[in-house]
Structure 1
Amino acid sequence: MTATVLVVDDHPVVRDGVTLLLRAEPSLKLIGSAESGRVALLRVGELRPDLILLDLRLPDMLAPEVIAGLRQVHPAGRIVVFTAHGDHQGLLAALDAGANGCLLKDVAGTDLVSALRRVLRGERVVDPRILPDHSSRSDALARSGLTRREYEVLRLAAQGQTNPEIAETTGLTRNTVKTYLQSALHKLGARNRVEAIGKASEAGLL
């Protein structure tokens, strides 16, 4: 089955390069491109691609803003951030905003195709050169048994956010936030949120 792809990058050479790479790959079909965040939101709304390859730095919007907008117009689309900047804090913000992966632009063509296929299968793919500690955090998360949402709620609590603030940040209801937090406490064997944050830090989750 062929998956559709939209490329969002303000550099024509990158858009052309990805076009050439995907042209040789029958399982991935490039259906369009956009050179800014605003155009990307319009095009994704019209074309509804299976996967969006998104540059971290666009002229008009930051990647986390674009990701939040894309999640509203096309929640089912998978988003992979494509960047030349491996150590950029914006990558963490992009992952927190809901990106399904982050890849460096010097990735070889076969590796790019393989990574995109993995994302389409539901995996979260992050180039190990980008965030060296990310894989260990993923392992710790898998061991803890926390779901991504439980972890997200706990991480925001660790940043000092109250339940109503977490609800506003995540778009969840206050009751749902409370449920996720209680579930996270239970899984971590903690009696309250302070203890849970301490245990999560010790486990390498925060």
Structure 2
Amino acid sequence: MTVASTSVSPIRVLIVDDHPMVRDGITGLLVRQPDMEAIGEASDGAEAVTRFRELAPDVVLMDMQMEGTGGIEAIQEIRALSRDARILVLTTYAGDANAIRAIRAGASGYLLKNCIRSELLDAIRAVHAGRRVVCSDIAHALAQHALDEPLTEREIAILKLVAEGHPNKQVAWRLSLSVDTIKAQLKTIFEKLGVHDRTHAVTVASRRGYIER
């Protein structure tokens, strides 16, 4: 009697990261898994979109911050190509604002690069199965700030200029706003972030992923 094969095709993973050593490390990890295979790599978001078109991977491992086209833009473009695309963010950026942007863009999961290998492998399997995955540190941050009012795009633009060291007058000039408007906006920003000065505002906004320093 002939027994039918029950083998299952491995999960085909596209690895997107601007550091070759990171890509090599993940590839080496996947090679040792009987249910996974690394089918391609990309070093930035634009290349990720091209490789996605070419390879149609089951899961995309996506870095957030890369030269040129970043992770958020790549996630949006890939999801525009396929609403069924499964994208797992793997990043060093722990801020809740970053995670929210990625999930809203269409990511199925958000992990930090310091996660243990088994966590990454389990996350790939979970995302492939259609589940959402968020690492515990990010989940805690999301819960902590769930009821906070988010910063607006204008407030983020102001904070970016403040982080660069510009005084209110220069911030106002660059954004074509009045100095009084900048002062009022900073007051609102301080309230939303729970801080009392510009330096602390920049520190908290950077930690939460609103801005980069």
Normalising by the residue count of structure 1, what TM-score does the alignment of the two structures yield?
0.63
**Residue 96 of structure 2 contacts residue 142 of structure 2 at CA under 8 Å; is this kept in 1?**
no
- Match of 1:69, SS state, is helix
Which residues in structure 2 correspond to 1:179-190 (within 5 Å)?
none
Q: Which residue of 2 aligns with 1:53?
A: 61
2:95 and 2:141 in contact (8 A); partners too: no
Task: Indicate conservation of the 8 Å contact 1:52/1:80, yes or no.
Answer: yes
| Residue 107 (structure 2) aligns with | 99
Instruction: State the Cα distance separating 1:59 from its structure 2 match.
Output: 0.7
Deviations 1:54-111 (A, max 9, x none): 0011111232211110012233220001101212622210111110000011111111
After superposition, where does 1:1-206 map in structure 2 within 5 Å? 1=8, 2-87=10-95, 89-134=97-142
What is the RMSD computed on CA atoms of the aligned residues? 2.3
Counterpart-to-counterpart distance in 2, 1:115 and 1:40: 20
Identical columns (%) = 37
Per-residue CA deviation, residues 144-197 of structure 1 (Å, 9 max, x unaligned), is xxxxxxxxxxxxxxx9xxxxxxxxxxxxxxxxxxxxxxxxxxxxxxxxxxxxxx
Determine the C-alpha separation between the residues in 2 that align with 1:128 and 1:108: 12
Distance of 2:91 and 2:71 partners within structure 1: 11
Runs of 4+ with >6 A deviation:
135-138
Check whether the contact 1:82–1:104 (CA below 8 A) recurs between aligned residues.
yes
Question: How far is the alpha carbon of 1:131 from its aligned partner?
Answer: 3.6
| Cα distance in structure 2, aligned partners of 1:135 and 1:65 | 25
Asked if structure 1 preserves the Cα contact closer than 8 Å seen for 2:16 and 2:60, the reply is yes
- Counterpart of 1:130 in 2: which secondary structure? helix
Contact 1:5 1:50 in 2 (8 A): yes
Count of residue pairs brought into register by the alignment:
141
Per-residue displacement from partner, 1:93-130 (whole Å, max 9, x unpaired)?
01111100000111111111111111111110000102
- C-alpha spacing 1:82/1:7, structure 2 compared with 1 (3 Å): same
Question: Quick one: distance in 1 between partners of 2:52 and 2:61?
Answer: 11
3-state DSSP of counterpart to 1:119: helix
Higher Rg of the two aligned structures: 2
Structure 1 CA distance for aligned equivalents of residues 77 and 13 of structure 2:
17
TM-score w.r.t. structure 2 length? 0.61
For structure 1, the 5+ residue unaligned runs are 139-158, 160-206
CA deviation string 1:31-62 (max 9, x = no partner): 00000111111110010000000001111123
